[in-house]
Amino acid sequence: MNILIMGAPGSGKGTFSSRLKETYNLDHISTGDLFRENISNSTELGIEAKSYIDAGHLVPDDLVNRMVLDYLKNKMPKDNDGYLLDGYPRTLEQAKTFKEATKGTDLDVDHILYMDVPHDILKKRILGRRSCPECGEIYNIYFKAPQKENVCDHCGHELSYRSDDNEESLKIRLSDYDALTQPVIDFYADHGQLKKINADADFDDIWSDIEKAIG
């Protein structure tokens, strides 16, 4: 089973990717991990990608496509029952190229999941995130607040938050996501492949919807 999972920051994509990977024995692939692996191993693709990154440029779609397809065709473990692609395709050109390159092969996509969450909920999920650096417990001041403000219920340590979890940064991240990814969502919807998941719900309800979507 081959799955693409899409969703904005804070949509729960990472959480449910982990569940999908474990439940269906999928190779969870993120483009970020592929870039780091190729660059650290100084592969031909990694050296080419690093030249763009070092120059302050975005890695071109063509190179991203080649890196993903190279992994799927040549490096994906044989003991998995398929793949779960996370964070790709990110642009319309990537989506078109990937669809054409995998059509009619074992790498063709079976399910495309879109984790749909309203922007106002995304903002609360991200801006309200707090974590305990001591025991790792996760909180949210809007949905799962600690009993005492900014103090961990379990170990009493002061809570912390990510520096990029702020209003200005989030606005840019969501704007970039919408501009790049909405055409991808429309592309798959037009082809009748998109399966929209209501990710503004309880964990069990979301997981139930995912299981129904992938049959």
Taking 80 as the threshold, does the pLDDT of residue 164 lie above it? no
- What pLDDT, on a 0 to 100 scale, did the predictor assign at position 41? 94
How do the domains of the chain map onto residue ranges?
A: 3-117+174-214
- What pLDDT, on a 0 to 100 scale, did the predictor assign at position 56? 84
- What pLDDT, on a 0 to 100 scale, did the predictor assign at position 163? 81
Taking 90 as the threshold, does the pLDDT of residue 196 lie above it? yes
Taking 80 as the threshold, does the pLDDT of residue 62 lie above it? yes
Taking 90 as the threshold, does the pLDDT of residue 199 lie above it? yes
For residues 12-32, give the mean pLDDT. 93
- What pLDDT, on a 0 to 100 scale, did the predictor assign at position 87? 85
State the greatest distance between any 2 C-alpha atoms of the chain, in Å, as a whole number.
56
- What pLDDT, on a 0 to 100 scale, did the predictor assign at position 167? 86
Architecture of domain 3-117+174-214: 3-Layer(aba) Sandwich (3.40)
For residues 128-144, give the mean pLDDT. 93
- What pLDDT, on a 0 to 100 scale, did the predictor assign at position 142? 92
Measured CA to CA, the distance from residue 1 to residue 83 in angstroms comes to 7
- What pLDDT, on a 0 to 100 scale, did the predictor assign at position 105? 96
Q: What is the pLDDT of residues 91-120, one digit of tens each?
A: 999 999 999 999 999 999 999 999 999 999
Dihedral sign of CA atoms 146, 147, 153, 159 in order:
positive
Q: Specify the long-range contacts of residues 133-141, CB closer than 8 Å, at least 24 apart.
A: 133/157, 133/160
8 Å CB contact between 115 and 205: no
For residues 177-183, give the mean pLDDT. 90
DSSP type of residue 131: E
- Could you list the active site residues? 13, 90, 129, 162, 173
Residue 44 CB partners (closer than 8 Å, separation 6+): none
Q: Which two tokens stand for residue 131?
A: 């974590």
Taking 90 as the threshold, does the pLDDT of residue 162 lie above it? no
Single pTM value for the model: 0.85
Higher pLDDT, 160 or 164: 160
